[in-house]
Amino acid sequence: MQNIRNIAVIAHVDHGKTTLVDGLLQQSGTFEAHKEVAERVMDSNDIEKERGITILSKNTAIRYNDYKINIIDTPGHADFGGEVERVLKMVDGVLLLVDAQEGVMPQTKFVLKKAIELGLRPIVVVNKIDKPAAEPERVVDEVFDLLVALEADETQLDFPVLYAAARDGYAKWNMDDENRDLTPLFDAILEYVPAPEGSPDNTLQTQIFTLDYDNYVGRIGIARIFNGRVKAGEQVLLAKSDGEKVKGRISKLIGFLGLERIEIDEAEAGDIVAIAGFNEIDVGDTITDPNDPQPLDPLHIEEPTLSVIFSVNDGPFAGREGKFVTSNKLKERLEKEMQTNIAMRLEQLGEGSFKVSGRGELQISILAENMRREGFEFLISRPEVVIKEENGVRMEPYEHLVIDVPEEFSGSVIEKLGRRKAEMTSMNPMPDGTTRIEFEIPARGLIGFRTQFLTDTKGEGIMNHSFLAYRPFVGNVEHRANGALISMENGKALGYSLFNLQDRGTLFIKPQTEVYVGMIIGEHARPNDLEVNPIKGKKLSNVRSSGADDAIVLVPPREMTLERAMEWIEDDELVEVTPENIRVRKRYLDPHVRKRMEKQKK
């Protein structure tokens, strides 16, 4: 019992959590010396590797001296806050990573607030001290001020501080110390993280905090044992969060060491294990003794704030590129996602139409990207915020938005956000020459803002946001200012036609792209929609003219990624997602139906 330590690594996105866990795994001797290990080994999912972000919290265990240290690597992006909330209840201490240049960011505040509420004492690791503009002392002061603002107690305010460069594999107590290895960090974990409470001799209490799925054994619950002992093959009682009780047998008990999952016979209080044997297992459920059941309090997960509608593709190209195109397949896949992702909700609206709610655009777009890679073909509507009603008042989610921009762009950013009902709360110059501005803004105001923001700041701006609270609804929020260029013909787009259309706005397609009636091929330079013909060729005649041999020079089209398309569309538009293409289209392809629907709306 005394030789186990359970910690979570928490930080804002891209402050180096996964890289630090890599260093701990390698320097603890968990991997054999000859073993080839990938970089950011905990980011196992393809999208995680490509984007360099952690999406799912994952756990590993390392042996150091005579201790077993269970480490949980958590996501840093606000959309995956649901993952972090659950994980913090399973650990006895946290490593709080803060970038030595960027300092405290919105997600740092979000995750630290949760840790403080649970009474966890942070070990602060000021990471990336090798950056040229690093200011470790300022960052430590920022963390202290934040803890005071979060009403931390005296023990939590007396936090240990280490200075590290996780990528180079060293940590130290003082900036003047020599750069060696991560030994000071291992020592800090053993010294400052308390041993787990509870006893192996008490009644069994084990709580599930993450789900996994295996085709052979079904659903797997990853759980922390708070009291008692768990044995493979043992008869236990599953106490669900709604009060239902299910008797069953643990078919498999799995322990963790490094990246390996090892079948074990027994585990006791304080450890983190994976348990198989229950198909109806869920996050927050307790596994307890059937003769003396003592369920733990269920976990509270914050509600989703954003929803989109997934529907079957009914366009002219339906079924040409995807493997799974029917509503049954779509429903099966979305239900499977809900089994392991408890921060999302699914609701069937009608035949072939499903409402998926989550914590943000990124979370939903990553689900869509995974489905697309698996061969699914479907349509997605524009994201909408989840509106609640409290005491007869309509409430909508607000976000805390932090923006770092070069000084010359701050005026235009403040003006654009003002139109989206944002309120500025602070503005501070940063050491690297940028200005940090903080806002409180309705979540609706952020939909579609990122692309405009990157254009306005010439790609140099950084924006981060996290959920703040539900507040009274504020009326209309300005959205896209420009209309769409809509194809009025079916066929292949021609360079000659696109050359003549590019003065009308920004194109999304290249020559030889297949188009259909109602497909959006670009953004109009004016507020109204415009129907155009992208397949019109040049009339050839046997009469020479002076302009006949003018070269056609096309501006490169704007590439529509899944996130950009979801942000860009309006209520009467949809994103068509297939394994090979992402297209944008009008909800009603026929122009006559479209006009009739617009009249009915008015």
* Residue list for the binding site for GTP: 14-19, 127-130
C-beta of residue 107 within 8 angstroms of C-beta of residue 84: no
Cβ neighbours for 110, distance < 8 A, ≥ 6 positions apart: 78, 81, 84, 466, 467
C-beta of residue 227 within 8 angstroms of C-beta of residue 204: yes
**Burial profile 411-426: b = 16 or more Cβ within 10 angstroms, e = fewer:** eebbebbeebbbeeee
DSSP character string of 466-502: EEEEEEE---------S-EEEE-S-EE--HHHHHHHG
**Burial profile 398-410: b = 16 or more Cβ within 10 angstroms, e = fewer:** bbbbbbbbeeebb
**Burial profile 123-157: b = 16 or more Cβ within 10 angstroms, e = fewer:** bbbbbbbeeeebbbebbbebbeebbeeeebeeebe
The angle, 0 to 180 degrees and rounded to 10, between the axes of the packed helices 136-149 and 106-117 is 50
Q: What is the DSSP letter of 168?
A: G
Helix residue ranges, H only, 135-289: 136-149, 154-157, 183-192
Q: Which residues are annotated as a binding site?
A: 14-19, 127-130
* Residue/partner pairs of 130-138 with CB below 8 Å, 24 or more apart: 130/165, 130/167, 130/168, 131/99, 131/100, 131/101, 133/101, 133/431, 133/432, 134/100, 134/101, 135/100, 135/101, 135/103, 135/431, 136/100, 136/163, 136/175, 138/103, 138/431
Considering only CA atoms, which of 310, 317, 420, 319 is closest in space to residue 365? Answer: 310
The count of other CB atoms within 10 Å of the CB of residue 474 is 14
Q: How far apart are CA 223 and CA 207, in angstroms?
A: 5
C-beta of residue 269 within 8 angstroms of C-beta of residue 204: no
C-beta of residue 74 within 8 angstroms of C-beta of residue 9: yes
Q: How far apart are CA 568 and CA 485, in angstroms?
A: 13
**What sign has the CA pseudo-torsion 551, 552, 556, 559?**
negative
